[in-house]
A and B are shown apart, each in its own frame.
Chain A
Amino acid sequence: MAAEKIMNKKHRKKQDPVDIVMSVITYIVYTFFAFVCVYPFYYIFINTISSNDLSARGKVTFWPKEIHFTNYVNVSNIPSLMSAFQISLARTVVGTILTVGASAFLGYMFSRETMWMRKFWYRLVVATMYFNAGIIPFFITMKNIGLYNTFWVYILPTVVAPFYIVLCKTFVEAVPKELTDAAELDGAGTMRTFVSVIIPVIKPILATVAIFSAVAQWNSFQDTLLLVSDPKLFTLQFTLYQYINQASSLKALVNSTGNAASLAASLAHAATATSIRMTVTIVVVAPILLVYPIFQRYFVKGIMIGAVKG
């Protein structure tokens, strides 16, 4: 921390006029962009705590009105929310670790020219980015290999993620050759080089991959929808998705029931679908925002490759 400050001071000699102009413009542009990004979120938040009636009529734009927290109370009352949270957490942790590990490892291996038929295998993996077999064969495959209705259906299909592998490979390739050569001269094998030389240097991109894959795992509900019918394995996102849908898809009720009174009641209940969607958005994003700074740590400080080089 202190060292950092000294470093900064060192840079801050005389300000070049071009730098000053650039700084001003930068600050203006970023402040504007930040506002454009924050306001909708703020808007969502104040709408979740304002009277749903006013919110539905678009009356809440700048500050909350008639503050209440029933939306959040309702969400917290969804049955089995805790177990869904655990499943989500588990899939996020396990899935992210495996995906990051595999991406880093494969990114490294595919950059090693010694590997047998390296290009072919690499292309085989990358090409899958552009394939989509369709849901029916995918479903049948999952069923046949016994992944249907298991926890691993969340994990295994995402382990090898071509996009992340490409990202990692680009980074690995930027690592100076002398580094790995030096390690290998010291007698380190493929694995040792990977662990002790490559991983430390490509940490920033690993953090990126971790963020991307963690968020993807956390937000995913399509796989639960198609491949899991056991309520014990429902994820948080899926449970909340159901909750939203329950409130917003009442067309069936409208078309099927003859019971006008209960119908009217359910409809009035459903009119807050947008509030529910907003509440769920806040509930889902909050944990992400809490965890995000941990990852950001990896971006703050530059890597001193020279230091590693020794």
Chain B
Amino acid sequence: MKAKKIVSLFAATAMVVGTLAGCGGGAAQPAATDSGTPAADTSAPAATPSTDTASSDAAAPAADAAGGNDLLELEIYDAAANYQGLQTGWFDKVVKDRFNLDLNIIAPQVAGDAIYQTRTSSGNLGDIVLLDAVDFADCVKAGLIKDISADISNYSNLAGFMDQINVYNSGLEGNSGQIYGIPTQMMNSSPTSYSQDVIYSSPLLRWDYYKELGMPDIADLDGLVDVLAQMQAAHPTNDAGDPCYGVSLWPDWDGNDNMLGIANVVQLTTWYGEKIKDSAILKADGKTFTPITDKTATYYKMLKFLNKLYKAGVVDPDSGTQDWNAACAKMSAGQVNMFWYSWQVGFWNSQERLDNGTAMIFVPVGDQNYYVDADPYYGSGRVFGVGAGVDDAKYKRIMDFLDWYASPEGLQFEHSGIEGFNYEVGADGKYTAINDNALMDNLPVPEEYGGAGYNDGNNQINEWIVSANAINPNTGETYAKDYWSSWKAATQTQMKKEWADRFGAAEPAEWMKKNSKLVISPNVTVPLGSDTADISVTRNQCNETLCDYSWKMIFAEDDASFDAMWDEMAATMDGTGFQDLYKFDCEKWQPQIDAKNALQ
């Protein structure tokens, strides 16, 4: 009995040692250590049902992609996804029917930075890789991305965007003609036009409240403060009796996505034609930079605007402590009188509210001049690539899939949905949307299309090679239903007519173009230099300082303390290396500016 135990102990020990020695091989079956530990004693090791099978299945490497069309799992490292795991539902069926592929999505947005760090350190990010441009360039340099130059021209749908793909790849550092990446959301319009009806950020006001005030002309920001103050005086609460505010802000987006400072303020700066590129502000001329700490630039101006709003008593007092979800709850409860992101209307505007005139809509402010990025002809900033480690058979299937992903058929699934479920084809070949609440209400999809809820089965890659606003050759209209003639006719309302009468244009963007109030910045996807370790830390530190002081400034009681805080902030930022950061950022963005100007 005892001897047996000791023998098993030795065996176990040897196995553990073997595991250690076998580093790199990955050959040692870890199951061996199982018998080792409890052999040491006591507790019942017996009751371990069914888990062994699961683990041995998993241990088999997924890379045995030998045969022609066997079911194959592709790992997609996907910077855009907010879902991790296997694609399921109707889109899974679409892909399986055509390619017999399982899409296993690795989502850094779910997993956090750590997964990028660990996967890159092991040399294999995924079979298909989707990254932001900066990271993509880094990964090409680190040898994690496959060179696809030899084959891409054989894929007709991808080859249709050869011009754009070449422009992107030629910008990669030290690249001599190879092709690694495929930009996302490309269009075939032009890099200097803007074809949507609304822009990303502009002042959006409650139409009925604005009408009550007699639809006054608003000359400048002070006028806007007045209007918001009057609105709030007239309507201190919503219908349910909760307090209303002019604006409600949230801090949990601060300092992300190529911006320094409060995310809300950063967006507001585009109202005066300027655009924040990290620590630098690109002036309205589209050529010169100024530091974000410049008192004459828009970050200061818009911060001051918010402070004026605060002093007028129309800023939600919880702005500095609530998260995005709490802010959204207020938007959808009608507690906020001004929006400034185009997506915010999604929380309030419904067909019913558009009909009865209580929806939010753009109201121009006289001295403003709105910055907008042009159509993403050259792509929107993210890039698709193929992992360096894939073998030939897998490579071919990946390219087949990507080519389809950029084909009209693929795009119809990605952007328009399922024929017969999301849209119907009319006699003229044009589409009419049906079940347009499919996504919102997660409508059940019929079994023949793959079953499950529509939203659950939606394409989880969440990024597209071709934009939803590109033209579908089958219909001559966009892929997205928002611009279908049938959709426009169905959503025309009294309120839109009133708006058109008041401002003399059918849509906000049209008004801006007509009155030369739109600064269209040519859209190019240029590989950008990535932060060094130093700059990265400096950036975080400066951003923290900037955000903390900015929030305090919004709630400053008077101009003197506002300016005192600004100066203190600038000094602190300089002390943590802001000047280096600013210099770095100017150099980082210069190639993009040059490319933009070359197009104009």
Contact = CB atoms under 8 A, between A and B. Distances in A.
Interface of A: 53, 56-57, 77, 79, 86-87, 90-91, 93-94, 97-98, 100-102, 104-105, 135-136, 139-140, 143-152, 155-156, 159, 189, 191, 194-195, 199, 225-226, 228-234, 239, 241-242, 245-246, 248-271, 273-274
Contacts of A254: 341, 343
A23 B75 CA distance: 62
B109 A93 contact: no
A269 to B, nearest CB: 6
Contacts of A102: 37, 40
B504 interface: no
Contacts of B114: 135, 225-226
Contacts of B25: 146
A257 B42 contact: no
Contact of A256 (B24, B463, B481): B463
Given A140-B121, A252-B82, A265 B439 contact: yes
A105 B42 contact: yes
16 contacts: A77-B456, A79-B452, A93-B48, A94-B51, A135-B114, A136-B117, A145-B23, A145-B28, A149-B58, A226-B111, A228-B58, A239-B85, A245-B82, A248-B325, A252-B462, A266-B440
B521 to A, nearest CB: 16
A226 B242 CA distance: 44
A184 B390 CA distance: 62
Contact of B30 (A135, A152, A195, A263): A152
Given A229-B75, A256-B380, A261 B482 contact: yes
Contact of B342 (A53, A87, A252, A260): A260
A257 B83 contact: no
B169 to A, nearest CB: 21
A307 to B, nearest CB: 22
Given A90-B54, A97-B38, A265-B440, 9 more contacts: A100-B43, A105-B42, A136-B118, A194-B41, A231-B86, A249-B110, A251-B324, A252-B79, A258-B376
A151 B2 contact: no
A97 to B, nearest CB: 5
B346 A189 contact: no
B27 interface: yes
Contact of A246 (B44, B83, B440): B83
Interface of B: 2, 5, 19-20, 22-31, 33-34, 37-38, 40-45, 47-52, 54-55, 57-59, 62, 75, 79-86, 88, 104, 106, 109-112, 114-115, 117-118, 121-122, 185, 196, 198, 240, 242, 253, 256-257, 324-326, 328-330, 332-333, 341-343, 345-347, 349, 376, 380, 382, 415, 436-437, 439-440, 442, 452-453, 455-456, 462-463, 467-469, 480-482
Contacts of B453: 77
Contacts of B49: 90
A230 B341 CA distance: 38
A271 B118 contact: no
A56 B325 contact: yes
Contacts of B382: 256
A53 B55 CA distance: 42
Contact of B122 (A98, A140, A255, A269): A140
A273 B323 CA distance: 11
